[in-house]
Structure 1
Amino acid sequence: MTFVTCDLCDENADSVSVVTGHNWFSYGGRSAFGGEVVTVKCFEDNSRVKEHLATDGKGKVLVVDGGGSLRNALIGDMIAENAVKNGWEGVIIYGACRDVDELAKLDIGVVTLGCVPIKSVRRDEGQLNIDITFGGVTFHPGEYVYADNNGIITSRHALL
Protein backbone atom coordinates (compact mmCIF):
# COMPACT_ATOMS: atom_id res chain seq x y z
CA MET A 1 0.00 0.00 0.00
CA THR A 2 1.66 3.19 -1.16
CA PHE A 3 0.29 6.57 -0.11
CA VAL A 4 1.18 9.76 1.68
CA THR A 5 -1.23 11.08 4.32
CA CYS A 6 -0.51 14.64 3.16
CA ASP A 7 -1.83 13.77 -0.30
CA LEU A 8 -4.85 11.96 1.14
CA CYS A 9 -5.66 15.07 3.18
CA ASP A 10 -5.30 17.33 0.12
CA GLU A 11 -7.52 15.08 -1.99
CA ASN A 12 -10.14 14.47 0.73
CA ALA A 13 -10.09 17.65 2.82
CA ASP A 14 -13.78 17.46 3.69
CA SER A 15 -13.79 13.82 4.75
CA VAL A 16 -10.68 13.27 6.90
CA SER A 17 -9.83 13.96 10.52
CA VAL A 18 -6.25 14.38 11.72
CA VAL A 19 -5.01 12.95 15.03
CA THR A 20 -3.26 15.81 16.86
CA GLY A 21 -1.67 16.72 20.15
CA HIS A 22 0.88 13.91 20.45
CA ASN A 23 4.28 12.93 19.13
CA TRP A 24 3.94 9.55 17.45
CA PHE A 25 6.76 7.13 16.74
CA SER A 26 6.86 4.49 14.02
CA TYR A 27 8.48 1.21 15.09
CA GLY A 28 7.21 -1.36 12.59
CA GLY A 29 8.74 -2.43 9.31
CA ARG A 30 6.03 -0.59 7.35
CA SER A 31 6.29 3.19 7.41
CA ALA A 32 2.86 3.63 5.78
CA PHE A 33 -0.20 1.51 6.44
CA GLY A 34 -3.96 1.79 6.57
CA GLY A 35 -7.19 -0.12 6.70
CA GLU A 36 -10.46 -0.72 8.45
CA VAL A 37 -10.52 0.31 12.11
CA VAL A 38 -10.83 -2.35 14.83
CA THR A 39 -10.61 -1.00 18.39
CA VAL A 40 -9.46 -2.09 21.83
CA LYS A 41 -9.64 -0.06 25.01
CA CYS A 42 -7.36 -1.22 27.81
CA PHE A 43 -4.99 0.16 30.42
CA GLU A 44 -1.61 -1.53 30.95
CA ASP A 45 -3.24 -4.92 30.20
CA ASN A 46 -2.70 -6.24 26.68
CA SER A 47 -4.95 -9.31 27.02
CA ARG A 48 -7.43 -8.02 24.39
CA VAL A 49 -4.62 -6.77 22.11
CA LYS A 50 -2.99 -10.21 22.06
CA GLU A 51 -6.34 -11.93 21.65
CA HIS A 52 -7.49 -9.72 18.76
CA LEU A 53 -4.20 -9.81 16.83
CA ALA A 54 -4.50 -13.61 16.84
CA THR A 55 -7.57 -13.32 14.56
CA ASP A 56 -7.79 -12.60 10.82
CA GLY A 57 -6.76 -8.99 10.25
CA LYS A 58 -6.52 -8.75 6.47
CA GLY A 59 -7.13 -5.12 5.51
CA LYS A 60 -7.47 -4.02 9.14
CA VAL A 61 -5.66 -1.80 11.62
CA LEU A 62 -5.97 -2.34 15.37
CA VAL A 63 -6.36 1.01 17.15
CA VAL A 64 -5.70 0.75 20.89
CA ASP A 65 -6.61 3.28 23.55
CA GLY A 66 -4.05 2.43 26.21
CA GLY A 67 -4.81 5.58 28.19
CA GLY A 68 -1.52 7.13 27.08
CA SER A 69 0.43 5.03 29.58
CA LEU A 70 4.14 4.59 28.96
CA ARG A 71 4.59 2.33 32.01
CA ASN A 72 3.80 -1.01 30.33
CA ALA A 73 4.16 -2.10 26.70
CA LEU A 74 0.95 -3.23 25.03
CA ILE A 75 2.73 -4.93 22.10
CA GLY A 76 6.10 -6.58 21.60
CA ASP A 77 7.76 -8.76 19.02
CA MET A 78 5.88 -12.01 19.73
CA ILE A 79 2.40 -10.45 19.53
CA ALA A 80 3.44 -8.45 16.44
CA GLU A 81 4.78 -11.61 14.75
CA ASN A 82 1.39 -13.22 15.33
CA ALA A 83 -0.32 -10.15 13.85
CA VAL A 84 1.84 -10.45 10.71
CA LYS A 85 0.89 -14.14 10.37
CA ASN A 86 -2.78 -13.14 10.59
CA GLY A 87 -2.52 -10.43 7.92
CA TRP A 88 -2.94 -7.25 10.00
CA GLU A 89 -1.89 -4.05 8.24
CA GLY A 90 -0.84 -2.28 11.41
CA VAL A 91 -1.37 -1.28 15.02
CA ILE A 92 -1.76 2.23 16.45
CA ILE A 93 -1.39 2.40 20.23
CA TYR A 94 -2.12 5.37 22.44
CA GLY A 95 0.47 3.88 24.78
CA ALA A 96 3.78 2.02 24.54
CA CYS A 97 5.47 -0.89 22.77
CA ARG A 98 8.70 -2.83 23.35
CA ASP A 99 11.19 -4.96 21.40
CA VAL A 100 11.62 -2.08 18.95
CA ASP A 101 14.60 -3.56 17.08
CA GLU A 102 12.58 -6.70 16.32
CA LEU A 103 9.42 -4.73 15.45
CA ALA A 104 11.42 -2.86 12.79
CA LYS A 105 12.09 -6.19 11.01
CA LEU A 106 8.41 -7.15 10.72
CA ASP A 107 6.10 -6.41 7.78
CA ILE A 108 3.56 -4.50 9.83
CA GLY A 109 3.03 -0.88 10.82
CA VAL A 110 3.40 -0.12 14.53
CA VAL A 111 2.84 3.45 15.72
CA THR A 112 2.87 4.30 19.43
CA LEU A 113 3.58 7.16 21.82
CA GLY A 114 6.88 5.56 22.82
CA CYS A 115 8.57 2.43 24.06
CA VAL A 116 9.35 0.87 27.42
CA PRO A 117 11.02 -2.47 28.23
CA ILE A 118 8.38 -3.52 30.80
CA LYS A 119 5.77 -5.99 29.58
CA SER A 120 2.06 -5.64 30.06
CA VAL A 121 0.21 -6.96 33.06
CA ARG A 122 -2.43 -9.58 32.30
CA ARG A 123 -5.75 -9.31 34.11
CA ASP A 124 -7.94 -10.38 31.16
CA GLU A 125 -9.41 -6.86 30.99
CA GLY A 126 -10.28 -4.56 28.12
CA GLN A 127 -13.10 -3.75 25.73
CA LEU A 128 -13.35 -4.63 22.04
CA ASN A 129 -14.89 -2.70 19.14
CA ILE A 130 -16.15 0.34 21.01
CA ASP A 131 -15.68 3.97 20.01
CA ILE A 132 -12.43 5.31 21.47
CA THR A 133 -11.10 8.86 21.51
CA PHE A 134 -7.60 10.32 21.65
CA GLY A 135 -5.70 13.02 19.78
CA GLY A 136 -8.92 14.93 19.13
CA VAL A 137 -10.39 12.11 17.03
CA THR A 138 -12.97 9.43 17.79
CA PHE A 139 -12.14 6.10 16.17
CA HIS A 140 -15.26 4.19 15.14
CA PRO A 141 -14.96 0.47 14.37
CA GLY A 142 -15.56 -0.10 10.67
CA GLU A 143 -14.26 3.29 9.56
CA TYR A 144 -10.75 3.76 8.15
CA VAL A 145 -7.38 4.92 9.42
CA TYR A 146 -4.14 5.73 7.60
CA ALA A 147 -0.71 6.35 9.13
CA ASP A 148 2.71 7.31 7.84
CA ASN A 149 5.64 9.43 8.99
CA ASN A 150 3.52 12.58 8.50
CA GLY A 151 0.77 11.56 10.89
CA ILE A 152 -2.45 9.65 11.42
CA ILE A 153 -5.76 10.40 9.71
CA THR A 154 -9.22 8.86 9.80
CA SER A 155 -12.08 8.71 7.32
CA ARG A 156 -15.58 7.30 7.31
CA HIS A 157 -14.87 5.77 3.88
CA ALA A 158 -11.92 3.97 2.33
CA LEU A 159 -9.60 6.44 0.60
CA LEU A 160 -7.59 3.90 -1.39
Structure 2
Amino acid sequence: MNSPLATCDLCDAHKHDAPELFRVLPPVFRDFGALRTFSGPVTTLKCFEDNSLVKAAVDSCGTVDTPQGRVGKVLVVDGAGSLRRALLGGNLGAAAARNGWAGVVIDGCVRDVAELATQEVGIRALASMPMPTDKQNQGLKDAAVQIQGVWVNPGDWLYADADGMVVSAQPLG
Protein backbone atom coordinates (compact mmCIF):
# COMPACT_ATOMS: atom_id res chain seq x y z
CA MET A 1 0.00 0.00 0.00
CA ASN A 2 1.45 3.34 -0.96
CA SER A 3 1.03 5.70 1.93
CA PRO A 4 -0.59 9.04 1.16
CA LEU A 5 0.66 10.13 4.59
CA ALA A 6 3.89 12.13 4.47
CA THR A 7 6.37 11.28 7.22
CA CYS A 8 6.96 15.00 7.83
CA ASP A 9 3.24 15.51 8.46
CA LEU A 10 3.17 12.47 10.74
CA CYS A 11 6.12 13.88 12.71
CA ASP A 12 4.37 17.26 13.01
CA ALA A 13 1.23 15.56 14.34
CA HIS A 14 2.94 13.07 16.65
CA LYS A 15 6.18 14.75 17.77
CA HIS A 16 5.01 14.86 21.38
CA ASP A 17 3.71 11.29 21.53
CA ALA A 18 5.37 8.88 23.94
CA PRO A 19 8.23 6.87 22.40
CA GLU A 20 6.30 3.62 22.77
CA LEU A 21 3.62 5.12 20.49
CA PHE A 22 5.65 6.95 17.79
CA ARG A 23 9.30 6.64 16.72
CA VAL A 24 11.51 7.87 13.87
CA LEU A 25 14.22 5.67 12.39
CA PRO A 26 17.61 7.35 11.90
CA PRO A 27 18.40 8.65 8.39
CA VAL A 28 21.02 6.00 7.61
CA PHE A 29 18.99 3.81 5.23
CA ARG A 30 19.23 3.84 1.43
CA ASP A 31 16.46 3.04 -1.06
CA PHE A 32 16.98 -0.07 -3.18
CA GLY A 33 13.48 -1.10 -4.39
CA ALA A 34 11.28 0.50 -7.05
CA LEU A 35 8.78 1.81 -4.48
CA ARG A 36 10.02 4.86 -2.58
CA THR A 37 6.83 5.31 -0.57
CA PHE A 38 5.32 2.40 1.34
CA SER A 39 3.60 1.54 4.59
CA GLY A 40 2.01 -1.34 6.41
CA PRO A 41 1.88 -3.43 9.55
CA VAL A 42 5.25 -4.74 10.69
CA THR A 43 6.52 -8.31 10.84
CA THR A 44 9.94 -8.63 12.50
CA LEU A 45 12.97 -10.88 12.20
CA LYS A 46 16.28 -10.91 14.04
CA CYS A 47 19.11 -12.65 12.23
CA PHE A 48 22.85 -12.17 11.96
CA GLU A 49 24.52 -12.95 8.63
CA ASP A 50 21.96 -15.74 7.98
CA ASN A 51 19.01 -14.99 5.70
CA SER A 52 17.13 -18.29 6.13
CA LEU A 53 14.27 -16.56 7.95
CA VAL A 54 14.24 -13.68 5.44
CA LYS A 55 13.77 -16.18 2.60
CA ALA A 56 10.97 -17.95 4.46
CA ALA A 57 9.23 -14.63 5.17
CA VAL A 58 9.33 -13.19 1.64
CA ASP A 59 8.31 -16.56 0.19
CA SER A 60 5.13 -16.36 2.29
CA CYS A 61 2.04 -14.20 1.80
CA GLY A 62 2.96 -10.55 2.41
CA THR A 63 -0.58 -9.23 2.84
CA VAL A 64 -2.97 -9.09 5.76
CA ASP A 65 -6.61 -8.12 6.16
CA THR A 66 -7.06 -5.04 8.37
CA PRO A 67 -9.96 -2.68 9.12
CA GLN A 68 -8.37 -0.52 6.38
CA GLY A 69 -8.73 -3.42 3.91
CA ARG A 70 -6.11 -5.82 2.59
CA VAL A 71 -2.65 -4.26 2.89
CA GLY A 72 0.93 -5.29 2.29
CA LYS A 73 3.07 -5.89 5.36
CA VAL A 74 6.53 -4.45 6.02
CA LEU A 75 9.26 -6.91 6.96
CA VAL A 76 11.69 -5.29 9.42
CA VAL A 77 14.94 -7.24 9.77
CA ASP A 78 17.38 -6.68 12.61
CA GLY A 79 20.64 -7.76 10.98
CA ALA A 80 22.65 -6.14 13.77
CA GLY A 81 23.93 -3.55 11.29
CA SER A 82 26.29 -6.09 9.71
CA LEU A 83 28.08 -4.78 6.64
CA ARG A 84 29.74 -8.16 5.91
CA ARG A 85 26.89 -10.18 4.33
CA ALA A 86 23.76 -9.34 2.32
CA LEU A 87 20.46 -10.49 3.84
CA LEU A 88 18.39 -9.81 0.69
CA GLY A 89 19.21 -10.17 -2.99
CA GLY A 90 17.45 -10.13 -6.33
CA ASN A 91 15.63 -13.45 -5.98
CA LEU A 92 14.30 -12.61 -2.52
CA GLY A 93 13.37 -9.08 -3.60
CA ALA A 94 11.37 -10.57 -6.48
CA ALA A 95 9.67 -12.98 -4.06
CA ALA A 96 8.72 -10.09 -1.75
CA ALA A 97 7.15 -8.18 -4.65
CA ARG A 98 5.39 -11.28 -6.03
CA ASN A 99 3.92 -12.15 -2.62
CA GLY A 100 2.51 -8.68 -1.92
CA TRP A 101 4.93 -7.30 0.67
CA ALA A 102 4.77 -3.49 0.85
CA GLY A 103 8.36 -3.18 2.00
CA VAL A 104 11.46 -4.69 3.53
CA VAL A 105 13.66 -2.69 5.91
CA ILE A 106 17.02 -4.26 6.74
CA ASP A 107 19.44 -3.11 9.41
CA GLY A 108 22.18 -4.64 7.28
CA CYS A 109 22.99 -5.10 3.60
CA VAL A 110 21.42 -6.14 0.32
CA ARG A 111 22.93 -7.32 -2.98
CA ASP A 112 21.90 -7.53 -6.65
CA VAL A 113 21.14 -3.81 -6.53
CA ALA A 114 20.19 -3.52 -10.23
CA GLU A 115 17.66 -6.35 -9.83
CA LEU A 116 16.20 -4.90 -6.62
CA ALA A 117 15.66 -1.52 -8.32
CA THR A 118 13.14 -3.15 -10.69
CA GLN A 119 11.02 -4.80 -7.99
CA GLU A 120 7.66 -3.22 -7.08
CA VAL A 121 8.39 -3.26 -3.37
CA GLY A 122 9.98 -0.78 -0.98
CA ILE A 123 13.45 -1.92 0.08
CA ARG A 124 15.64 0.00 2.50
CA ALA A 125 18.98 -1.13 3.87
CA LEU A 126 22.24 0.34 5.10
CA ALA A 127 24.37 -0.54 2.06
CA SER A 128 25.03 -3.02 -0.71
CA MET A 129 27.42 -5.94 -0.23
CA PRO A 130 27.97 -8.69 -2.82
CA MET A 131 28.82 -11.40 -0.26
CA PRO A 132 25.88 -13.77 0.46
CA THR A 133 24.98 -15.15 3.86
CA ASP A 134 25.47 -18.59 5.29
CA LYS A 135 22.20 -20.46 5.76
CA GLN A 136 22.02 -22.02 9.20
CA ASN A 137 18.30 -21.52 9.96
CA GLN A 138 19.11 -19.30 12.92
CA GLY A 139 17.33 -16.24 14.20
CA LEU A 140 14.13 -15.02 15.85
CA LYS A 141 10.77 -14.25 14.33
CA ASP A 142 8.01 -11.93 15.61
CA ALA A 143 10.05 -10.45 18.47
CA ALA A 144 10.69 -6.82 19.37
CA VAL A 145 13.85 -5.72 17.54
CA GLN A 146 16.13 -2.75 17.83
CA ILE A 147 16.87 -1.04 14.51
CA GLN A 148 19.67 1.51 14.80
CA GLY A 149 18.72 2.06 18.45
CA VAL A 150 14.96 2.32 17.81
CA TRP A 151 12.58 -0.37 19.05
CA VAL A 152 10.22 -1.88 16.48
CA ASN A 153 7.54 -4.36 17.52
CA PRO A 154 5.55 -6.88 15.51
CA GLY A 155 2.20 -5.27 14.72
CA ASP A 156 3.57 -1.70 14.70
CA TRP A 157 2.95 0.28 11.52
CA LEU A 158 5.84 1.60 9.45
CA TYR A 159 5.51 4.55 7.06
CA ALA A 160 8.32 5.36 4.59
CA ASP A 161 8.80 8.12 2.02
CA ALA A 162 11.60 10.28 0.62
CA ASP A 163 11.99 12.08 3.97
CA GLY A 164 12.46 8.99 6.12
CA MET A 165 10.73 6.26 8.07
CA VAL A 166 8.48 6.44 11.12
CA VAL A 167 7.01 3.69 13.27
CA SER A 168 3.71 3.88 15.13
CA ALA A 169 2.09 1.53 17.61
CA GLN A 170 -1.15 1.85 15.61
CA PRO A 171 -2.24 2.75 12.08
CA LEU A 172 -2.18 6.51 11.45
CA GLY A 173 -4.35 8.70 9.27
Coarse TM-score class (shorter-chain normalised): over 0.9
Q: Establish whether residue 96 from structure 1 lines up as the match of residue 98 from structure 2.
A: no
| Whole-Å separation in 1 of the counterparts to 2:11 and 2:172 | 10
Counterpart code for 1:133: Q
SS at 1:63 equivalent:
strand
| Whole-Å separation in 2 of the counterparts to 1:7 and 1:104 | 27
Long gaps (5+) in structure 2? 64-71
Q: Which residue of 1 aligns with 2:170?
A: 157
Counterpart code for 2:44: T
SS at 2:39 equivalent:
strand
Q: Which residue of 2 aligns with 1:23?
A: 28
Long gaps (5+) in structure 1? none
TM-fit CA distance, 1:146 = 1.3
Q: Establish whether residue 122 from structure 1 lines up as the match of residue 131 from structure 2.
A: no
| Whole-Å separation in 1 of the counterparts to 2:172 and 2:151 | 18
Counterpart code for 1:57: G
Normalised to the residue count of structure 1, the TM-score between the two structures is 0.94
Which structure 2 residues correspond to residues 1-160 of structure 1 after superposition, within 5 A? 1=2, 2-13=4-15, 14=17, 15-20=21-26, 23-58=28-63, 59-160=72-173
TM-fit CA distance, 1:43 = 0.4
Q: Please say if residues 27 and 104 of structure 1, whose CA atoms lie closer than 8 Å, have aligned partners that are also in contact.
A: yes
Paired residue total? 159
Deviations 1:125-157 (A, max 9, x none): 111000001223211101111122211110011
Q: Percent identity?
A: 42
Deviations 1:11-65 (A, max 9, x none): 2332421112x52100000001111010000000000000011111112100000
Q: Please say if residues 81 and 148 of structure 2, whose CA atoms lie closer than 8 Å, have aligned partners that are also in contact.
A: no
Q: Please say if residues 3 and 32 of structure 1, whose CA atoms lie closer than 8 Å, have aligned partners that are also in contact.
A: no
Counterpart code for 1:9: C
